[in-house]
Amino acid sequence: MSSIICTIDVVLMTLKNSVLHVALLKRDHAPFVGVLALPGGYIHAEDDVDTRDAAERTLREKAGIVSPYLEQLATFSGRARDPRGWSLSVVYYALVPNDVIAAASHLEVVLMPIDKVRGLPFDHQKIIETAVRRVRDKSAYSSLPVYLCGELFTLPQLQGVYEAILGEPINKVSFRRKIEELDMLEAVEGAMETGKAHRPAQLYRLKPRYSQHLSLTDRALNAKSLTSH
């Protein structure tokens, strides 16, 4: 009886030019050698404490990145997904600011807009589509998009991140009210964004207790009543 192939895959996402991108790498071994695919690999039973540990290791080794947000997405399995035999992959998704990926640019990470992804091996197309749905759903009622921002950001910048993910405008007043309800940010004393056409804007950062944890609100941020007209 053949053994089951057990792997980890990570959907690493970032915002580039206000468009959600996914990180891909060229595979360095068969099957599908040289083809772009999600960062992934075998679980190391001797070294990995659990699947999360394996996902963190995969990101470090394959992309040179430690993600500020990492969450298990789902398990994908079956006989048809891998030409080598019956396999399962425990998939995680990660969100990072674009400058984090840029700092690891010596590695061969290819950023591709999610709506341009085509021809991936295995079931990686389905995995990415599932991850994008998860991110958009959770962004409607949680602090998830903040992990795509840099360490410091203004509220208009954060609103732009939410709008880029949700794919629709959000009323400014309603957005600010929801951010207050989430209670996830703290103003950085004396830190202002300057050099723009508008007046200086207060800089914020994520409260330390929300690192790797979401803040939730009861009502969706993309409800019709919140959109601009």
Q: pLDDT by residue (tens digit) across 39-79?
A: 999 999 999 999 999 999 999 999 999 998 999 999 999 99
What does the mean pLDDT of the chain come to?
90
Hey, what CATH topology would domain 139-226 get?
Arc Repressor Mutant, subunit A (1.10.10)
Per DSSP, what are the bridge partners of residue 155?
none
Question: CB count, 10 Å around CB of 75?
Answer: 11
pLDDT, tens digit, for every residue of 77-111?
999 999 999 999 999 999 999 998 888 755 689 99
Q: How far apart are CA 5 and CA 86, in angstroms?
A: 6
Residues forming CATH 3.90.79.10 domain(s) in the chain: 5-119
Question: Exposed/middle/buried for 176, CB within 10 Å: 0-12, 13-18, 19+?
Answer: middle
Extract the tokens encoding 145.
Answer: 């998009």
CATH of 5-119 among 3.40.50.720, 3.90.79.10, 3.40.50.10540, 3.40.980.10: 3.90.79.10
pTM of the complete model:
0.91
In 3D space, the residue among 86, 93, 4 whose CA is nearest the CA of residue 52 turns out to be 93
Q: Verify cis geometry, omega within 30 degrees of 0, for the bond prior to 31.
A: yes
